[in-house]
Structure formats: C-alpha cells, structure tokens
A and B are shown apart, each in its own frame.
Chain A
Amino acid sequence: MRDTIKYSEEELVGLLVQKDQQAFSYLYDNYAGALNAVILKMVEHNELAEDILQESFVKIWNNFENYDKTKGRLFTWMLNITRNLTIDTLRSKSFKKQQKISGDENSVSSLEDAKGGLDKFDAMGLRKQVGNLKEDQRSIINLAYFVGYTQDEISKQLGIPLGTVKTRMRTAILELRKKIQYT
C-alpha cells in the first residue's frame, strides 16, 4: 500500500530527523522494494534478505541524524547502509558456516548470481529499457552499485584493466541515463 501523501525529499528528511513515524512508513513503502532487490542480488536467500532489510531500516531510523544531504541523495545514503550491512553479514562467521552447510548453490560472489538476480526482476516500468543495456554495462553497474564490489574486484570479475573501470562505469551510466530519460 502506498501512502496518498507525497513528500518531497527535503520534507521527508525534515520529518525523519524529528522521528516522524508516518514519514518513515512512507520511506519504507517507497524504498523497501528497491533496497530488498539490492540485498537479494547479494544474498539470494529470502529469509536472510528480509532480516537484513529489517536491520537496515532500523539502522536508518536510529541513525537518521547522520544523514548529510550535502554528500548525496537520501537513497544513496540508504543504499550504502543496506549494502554495507549485507556485506558485513556475508563476511560474518555465522553466515559463512551457514553457507558451508547449505552448499555452493547459494554462493553470491559470482557474476552468474548477479546476472541471475537480474533475470528475476520483472514488471517495473524501466525494466525493459534497462534490459536493453549491453551485458557488460549492466554488469559493471550492478556489481558496483548493488553488490558493492571495489574497482579491483570489478576489474578481476569482468577481466578488464583496473584503469578502465572508471571510464566504463561512466559510459554505462550515461547509457542508463539515456534509457531512463526515454521512458
């Protein structure tokens, strides 16, 4: 259910600083799906993903005063929190143990999984346009933005020189912007 009220980002931030639960509800309704998708790209385990999503939103609520709008948009900040929590969970010992037991099929560190994740996305307005992105462009965006890979990791994963990650990323995003603008 979406709230009928629409907040500008500035209004939303102002209310969230004051711990306004209605604004937080709006925030959740508008961003939980996107953040959940990011988690699922790395975790691919629904229950664990939901636990991480829950933890992320609680952290967003508790640490909202730390959000600095001069450093970027609200979603970017939320995404960083969510992505970092997910990475922390993946690196935690208990998760590694769990992964060992449940087997390699749940491994999230391969590009195949990132691509597999993409194939699950459906029914959103931009899906088709984004789908027209070249495979390597979509991968570099996903690995960086969603999976949280470093430039070095992307370089190794995609088999491209480290020095080209920056220009390839710029090209991919410019392409993405065009697709989105045409929608």
Chain B
Amino acid sequence: MNSNEIISSGLLELYATGLASAEEAMQVQQWVGQYTEVADELAQIETCMEAYSQSQSIQPDASVKEKIFAKINQLESAKIIPLNSGEESSNVIGISSFWKKMAAAVVLLLIGSVAVNVSLYNNNKNVVSQLVNIQQALAGLQEKNNDMAADMKVVQSKYSLPVSLAGLEAAPDAAAKIFWMKNTTGEVYIDASNLPDAPVDKQYQLWAFVDGKPVDAGLIISTEKGSKYRIQKMKTFGRAEAFAVSLEDKKEKPSVVPEGPVYVMGKM
C-alpha cells in the first residue's frame, strides 16, 4: 500500500478512535514511521478527535484536582520514605525540644551537684583532719591536765609534808622539793624541776636518811623531757631524818649507797 491507499483505507480512523486490533495498530505505527504523509494524516485525525472531545468538555468538581494532587504528593513522599528507612531505624522517636532542654538542665544540675559535692568532700576532709588535730591537742592537754591535777593533789594534800632540798657545793643553784605523806601512807613525792639536766650517762637518785644512814629512795627520771617537771612518786618511808639527791653513774643496778656528788639536801 502506498501512502494514499493507507490514508483512504480507514485504518487510521480506526486506530485514532481505538477500534483497531492489535495487529492493525502495529501496522499503522509502522506506516507512521515510514510515511510522513501518513504521520501527518494521523496527527490531523487525532487533533480533530481531541478538538471534538474538548467541545464536549464537562468540568469536574474542583475538589477532584485537589484530591489528585494530594494523592500524587502522598505517593511521591511514600517513595522517599523507603529510601531513608534503609539508613535510619523506622522506630525513630522524636524528642520534643522541651525534653531536650530538660535533659540539658538535668545534666547541668548533675555537673553542678558533683562539683559542689567534691568541694564539700574536700572541705569535710580538711575539717576532719583539723578536728583530729584538735582532738589530739585536746587529749594532750587533758593528759597534762590530769597529770597536773594529780601533781596538785599531792601538793595540795593536807597530809603532805613539804621538805625543801637546797643546793650544796656541787650545784649551789639547784633545788628540789619533797612531798611526804608522813602521817598517812608514807608515800614520798619529789618535784625535781629545779635540778639541772643530768648528763646522758648519769642519773639522779633520791636518798632517805633513816637512823643516820642513807637508804635508796628511787631513781629520778630527768632525762626524758617533761618528766623532770612532773612530781614523781618515790619509795615509801615511815620515818626519815633527811632527804638528799645525788648524781650517780648509769648502771644496771642502782647504787646502794651514794657514790656521786650530792646536789641537794634537806633535813626535817
């Protein structure tokens, strides 16, 4: 068939109005590609049918267009979601800015609280160590006070007989005091605080003269700091005429008779 025969066959009209069979439609499409005249003729038929359709137009309700666009936008967004869902979990939960701010505030409060706690802890540590120092100082003072009270008890006792020991040739400036519970227990105490410090290899020894003979009344602690200033309890005597302190060599067994120089002495 040449192009004129094709045009006059009526197949183009069948094709344009949708009446052509699949076979005929393929044939027409082939001709359209082959002959410009046929393509032009078909275009004119189609334009005519289109114009005819337009002449018959009935405008649909305006809502139809809105529904169509809503649908295609929904479809477009539905296409986008699966692409993202591969990367992100589908269970992403939005957190409102209020809770984000709350969370930030809580974190700040926590940090602040930790800082305050650290500061308080350090302060507390200082306070505790100060307290320990004070308690130790207090304990020391109480101990001293107790010692002092005990010493004072001896000194202030109405039963204690004070005996002053004065310095002799060996130590004219030295002095000592005896507190003797002569009429009660016979206990003898000495305040050796006015004796000079004994040399490292020497020690003071108290003697009681009983019936004209010196009797050992005990060693006086004078090397340990502080103890020299305490009133020290010596041996007990029921009777004695005099008391004296001599400086003896340090040895395993104290002397039974005074061997060194006598520093101080006092008679009843």
Which residues from chain A sit less than 8 Å from chain B, CB to CB? 19, 21, 24-25, 28, 32-38, 40, 46, 49-50, 53-54, 57-58, 61-62, 70-73, 75-76, 79-80, 83, 118, 120-121, 124-127, 129-130, 141, 144-146, 148, 150-151, 154, 165-167, 169-170, 173, 176-177, 180
8 Å CB contacts to A: which residues of B20-77? 29, 32-33, 42-61, 63-65, 67-69, 71-72, 75-76
Which residues from chain B sit less than 8 Å from chain A, CB to CB? 8-11, 13-19, 29, 32-33, 42-61, 63-65, 67-69, 71-72, 75-76
Given contacts A130-B52, A173-B45, contact A144 B18 (CB under 8 A): yes
Given contacts A36-B59, A126-B54, A166-B13, contact A144 B19 (CB under 8 A): yes
**Please, how many angstroms separate the alpha-carbon atoms of A130 and B56 in the complex?**
9
A177 touches B55 (CB 8 A): no
Output the nearest chain A residue to B51 by Cβ-Cβ distance.
A180
A75 touches B50 (CB 8 A): yes
Choose from B13, B46, B47 the contact partner of A169 (Cβ within 8 Å).
Answer: B13
Output the nearest chain A residue to B62 by Cβ-Cβ distance.
A1
**Please, how many angstroms separate the alpha-carbon atoms of A101 and B78 in the complex?**
37
Set of chain A residues within 8 Å of B18, measured between Cβ atoms: 79-80, 83, 144-145, 148
A33 touches B59 (CB 8 A): yes
**Please, how many angstroms separate the alpha-carbon atoms of A35 and B64 in the complex?**
13
Given contacts A70-B33, A145-B17, A151-B19, contact A124 B75 (CB under 8 A): no
26 contacts between A and B (CB under 8 A): A33-B59, A35-B53, A36-B57, A36-B58, A49-B60, A50-B63, A53-B60, A57-B68, A72-B15, A72-B16, A75-B50, A76-B49, A76-B50, A121-B57, A124-B54, A124-B55, A129-B55, A141-B52, A146-B53, A151-B14, A151-B19, A166-B11, A166-B14, A169-B14, A169-B17, A176-B52
Choose from A24, A54, A62, A177 the contact partner of B45 (Cβ within 8 Å).
Answer: A177
Given contacts A62-B75, A148-B18, A151-B19, contact A37 B53 (CB under 8 A): yes
Output the nearest chain B residue to A29 by Cβ-Cβ distance.
B65
Set of chain B residues within 8 Å of A36, measured between Cβ atoms: 57-60
Number of CB contacts from chain A to chain B under 8 A:
149
Choose from B10, B46, B69 the contact partner of A73 (Cβ within 8 Å).
Answer: B46
Set of chain A residues within 8 Å of B46, measured between Cβ atoms: 72-73, 75-76
B62 to chain A minimum Cβ distance, whole angstroms, is 9
A144 touches B17 (CB 8 A): yes
Output the nearest chain B residue to A46 by Cβ-Cβ distance.
B61
**Please, how many angstroms separate the alpha-carbon atoms of A129 and B63 in the complex?**
32
Set of chain B residues within 8 Å of A35, measured between Cβ atoms: 53
New A-B pairs, 7, CB < 8 Å, besides A25-B69, A145-B49: A32-B64, A33-B54, A36-B60, A53-B64, A73-B43, A146-B53, A165-B19
